[in-house]
Structure 1
Amino acid sequence: MKSLISKLLYMREFRNSLAGAATRQLIRSTSGWYNYSVDFKVDMLAVERPHYAWCMLNAARLGQLLGHDRISTIEFGVAGGNGLAYMCDFAKDVKAVTGVTVDCYGFDTGAGMPPPEGPYDLPFWFAAKQYKMDQDALQKRVPEAKLIIGDIRETIGDFIETHQPAPIGAVFNDTDYHSSTRETFRIYDKVTTHPQHFLPRSFMYFDDVLGSELEMYGAHNGQLRAISEFNDSQDAVRIHRNQNLIHQDHLPYRHQIYYGHLFEHPDYNRYIGAGRQEILEDLLKLSA
């Protein structure tokens, strides 16, 4: 009976149905009473930030497959700190499930958004000084987080050398601007010289690729333009939207998950499929 229920919950038609939505709501409302597994809660959207959780879990598992017991996650654009606080909290669940420790870094000016550089930054929607941070309060709230405060143009350049992070596996980008997003990608300039600080593939979430009819995000402005320009500027690292979640209509974040492929990383071609193919086949059967 349990296996039949599990199969039903993971069937694509059921997940995308009203009954599936109602079932997930029931699971969310009872998650404090029952000892659901971490993976199940993430799959059922029964966690506060399922998009962060999904990326962190999968980054940790990739790190585990490559022999790492510690990885790093980064949030670009911390603002009030709710995302970073969630990362630090969920890192405990990741550790319990995978045995992998997750270090959490947050980049922010500390003083709100800088002035927009030009039209690609959507100045009709964003303005200087938005999303200010109370740095002291946030650091007290999440003492384990590592805050990188300042203009990203200045802080990104020596981040790898200064902080020597564990391999970076998940990146959450909420910088809003085209210009700021563009600067975050400079972190990949260090892959060739410091590959030990990166996983060969990154799980990425971009907050500002979907929006309202007033924001009017598109391929020619904001974060999408920054991604396109970065991909066109070099061949060593490419960023693309995932192809495994976008058909799962029940996932509100499905179009915002991207993957970064670090093609010149020494571990990029390292085979990780041993013992995993059967698991993937079982998951495909459940979602068929």
Structure 2
Amino acid sequence: MLKKLLEPRIWRRIYRERMGEPVLYNLASVFVLLFGNVVRKIDYDLVPRQPYAFGLQKAFEFAAAERERLGVGRLVFIEFGVASGAGLLNICRVSEALSRHYGMPARVIGFDTGAGMPPPVDYRDHPEKYLDGDFVPHNSDALQQSLPGNAHLIYGPIAETVGSLDTQLEPGDVIGFVSVDVDYWSSTIDCLKLFDNEKLVFLPRTPVYFDDVNNIDHSIFAGELLAINEFNESHDRAKLSKMNQIRNWRIFKNALWLDQLYWYLDLSHRYFTRDYHADRARTKLSNPYLGMKSEHHVGD
């Protein structure tokens, strides 16, 4: 971690994202870093790989609130595009902390070709940005040995491996977070086939992180953005929707990753029906103006 903090790009990002925020928030971050629990640290963007931490926390929060009704025995987190494995190990560490906080077990599964990126199909794969041979894992054996017991890494073409994910899971396993970091349109299409496997169970509202959607030269005509649009066009009741107003709800609003978080919505799930929510207490609103005696009119 200390080695990463010494990288110039990290300090450039801190300058862009944190120095323009209110001084009070940055000062409060020091207190939270020293004394806050894992959820509070995620609120203040103090946990490395903030979009992963945010997505994992939202999955745990939702699953904990609906655990019995949704039949969640264990949450499953998936990363497509493992490469050197830093992101996968980050998911392992953050999910371990959140598992203790929420009292809910988790499993982590990574997918990677193990041989870097394949040749691009055509312009839709952004060949001006990415090429075959990029992101070859440095030491796959060491990464495998570094994984905790609840984590598993699957090597091979994603198009061939993603369809058998259900054989790796157990009853009560519910997928709660997915990270897609495969750069290409064609590879993203393969990743999104995950949501077509009827043997898998997802949270009805699952956080999904897309790594390659926020550079100014990413377009809706190529890469992950094109794959997202094609998925939505080809599915009636399953949708990928950008998280709404997330920037306004976060304490720190300049973070680049705020535009990279989506929901996978299974709109055919019973969660999105009246019957599922029929037993909850009804919301009532008060009116502070009723019963007040006014001695003057507004504007007097």
TM range (shorter): 0.7 to 0.9
Q: Deviations over 1:95-124 (max 9, x none)?
A: 122112121111100111111111100011
Q: Does 1:142 align with 2:147?
A: yes
**Where do 4+ consecutive residues of structure 1 move more than 6 Å?**
275-278
Question: 2:122 matched to which residue of 1?
Answer: 118
1:166-203 residue CA offsets vs partner (Å, 9 max, x unmatched): 10011111011001111111111123xx25x2211210
1:100 to 104, 124, 128: 104
- Residue 141 to residue 267, structure 1, CA distance change in 2 (3 Å): same
Matches within 5 A, 1:265-280: 265-269=269-273, 270-271=276-277, 274=280
Deviation per residue, 1:111-141 (Å, 9 max, x gap): 1111111110001110111111122111122
Q: CA deviation at 1:218?
A: 1.0
Following TM superposition, by how much is the alpha carbon of 1:76 offset from its aligned partner in structure 2, in angstroms? 0.6
Provide TM-score, normalisation by structure 2: 0.77
Q: Which moved more, 1:253-262 or 1:18-27?
A: 18-27
Partner secondary structure for residue 253 of structure 1: helix
Shift of 1:59: 0.5
Shift in alpha-carbon separation, 1:162–1:19, aligned structure 2, 3 A: closer
Structure 2 counterpart of 1:234, one-letter code: H
- Within 2, Cα distance between the matches of 1:50 and 1:260? 19
Normalised by the size of structure 1, how large is the TM-score? 0.80
Q: RMSD in angstroms over aligned alpha carbons?
A: 2.6
Quote the Cα distance in structure 2 between the aligned partners of 1:25 and 1:273. 42
The CA deviation at 1:273 is 9.9
In structure 2, the partner of 1:245 is: 246
Show the counterpart of 2:194.
187
The residue number in structure 2 matching 1:223 is 224
Equivalent-residue separation in structure 1 for 2:214 and 2:73 (angstroms): 34
Equivalents in 1 of 2:29, 2:227: separation in Å? Answer: 36
Secondary structure at 1:157 match in 2: helix
Secondary structure at the aligned position of 1:64 is classed as: helix
| Cα drift, residue 275 of structure 1 | 8.0
1:108/1:273 CA distance change after superposition, 3 Å: farther
Partners of 1:53 and 1:277 in 2: CA distance? 31
Match for residue 158 of structure 1? Answer: 164
1:70–1:103 CA contact under 8 A, matched in 2: yes
1:176 has 2:205 as partner: no
Q: Which amino acid aligns with 1:38?
A: V
In the alignment, the residues of structure 2 paired with residue 76 and residue 17 of structure 1 have an alpha-carbon distance, to the nearest angstrom, of: 29
1:62-83 per-residue CA deviation (whole Å, 9 max, x = no partner) reads 1122222411010110111111
Q: In the aligned structure 1, how far is the partner of 2:281 from the partner of 2:119? A: 50
Amino acid corresponding to residue 193 of structure 2 in structure 1 = R
- Does structure 1 retain, via aligned residues, the 8 Å contact 2:73–2:174? no
Question: Which amino acid in the other structure matches residue 141 of structure 1?
Answer: S
**Matched residues, number:** 256
- Compute the displacement of 1:49 (Å): 1.4
